[in-house]
Every structure is written in C-alpha cells, then in structure tokens.
C-alpha cells in the first residue's frame, strides 16, 4: 500500500494515507489469507484515475556505447 501511495503521488494524484489504503483494500477484497492480490491492487489504483501514458525513448545504435 505504501508503494501504491508513492505511485499515486508521483503521478500527481491525491493519495489517501497508507492506513486508508489498507482499509480500502480490505473492503475491496484485495487482501486474502495468502496476501495481497496484484489484480486487486491494480483495480484499486484505477479507482484513482488513469495514469498518464508511459514516456520512453526508442533504442537506437547511437545510444549504445
């Protein structure tokens, strides 16, 4: 949940406290007896809005030392 909070903040989103994220995750059944469900965490994240598209630079030979 700390990682989810950091991701939300890095994208400029408002992020609940870790405690609030934990409560939300339990409420949404993202936490099981075996641990957190990645799909459940991803579903929680989408509830805070869409992430901006990734920024990437195509690899070209002039970038290779």
Each as own residue / partner, the long-range contacts of residues 33-41 (CB below 8 Å, 24 or more positions apart, any chain) are: 41/4
What local confidence, expressed as pLDDT, does residue 29 receive? 94
**Predicted pLDDT of residue 13:** 85
pTM of the model: 0.71
Residue-wise pLDDT tens for the chain (65 aa)? 999 999 889 888 889 999 999 999 999 999 999 999 999 998 998 888 876 666 676 767 776 66
Report in angstroms the alpha-carbon separations of 54 from 5, 30, 34, 38.
Answer: 18, 25, 31, 20
**CB distance 36 to 48 below 8 Å:** no
């Amino acid at each position: 949940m700390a990682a989810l909070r950091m991701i939300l903040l890095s994208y400029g989103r408002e992020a609940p406290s870790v405690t609030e994220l934990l409560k939300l995750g339990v409420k949404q059944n993202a936490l099981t007896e075996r641990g957190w469900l990645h799909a459940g965490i991803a579903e929680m994240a989408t509830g805070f809005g869409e992430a901006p598209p990734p920024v990437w630079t195509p690899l070209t030979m002039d970038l290779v030392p």
